[in-house]
Amino acid sequence: NSEDVRCKCICPPYKDHSGHIYNKNVSQKDCDCLHVVEPMPVPGPDVEAYCLRCECKYEERSSVTIKVNNVILWA
């Protein structure tokens, strides 16, 4: 596949949980904490507060372009 897509969620520390970065291949519409953060590190009552602190971004990149650039850089 020449294109890679993923959702990246950066979640800062929350209560006694350290910060963490989560990546998952999901559609752009599902790019949110509830669909990407697995396993959820906090119990049910804290999920909303935890997810509000996370920053999720949908990313697309071309693997072919990356490979070509690496070949040029290392040639």
Quickly state the pLDDT bin for 68 (edges 50, 70, 90): low
33-51 per-position pLDDT tens digit = 999 999 999 999 999 999 9
Q: Report the pLDDT value the prediction gives residue 3, as an integer from 0 to 100.
A: 57
Q: Is the pLDDT of residue 74 over 90?
A: no
Instruction: Compute the distance between CA of residue 19 and CA of residue 28 in angstroms, rounded to an integer.
Output: 23
Instruction: Compute the distance between CA of residue 7 and CA of residue 24 in angstroms, rounded to an integer.
Output: 5
- Domain extents for the chain? 5-73
Q: Report the pLDDT value the prediction gives residue 4, as an integer from 0 to 100.
A: 82
Q: Report the pLDDT value the prediction gives residue 52, as an integer from 0 to 100.
A: 97
9-34 per-position pLDDT tens digit = 999 999 999 999 999 999 999 999 99
The residues, any chain, with a CB within 8 Å of residue 4's CB and separated by 6 or more, are: 60, 61, 62, 63
Closest by Cα among 53, 49, 61, 60 to 9: 53
Q: Which amino acid is at 73?
A: L
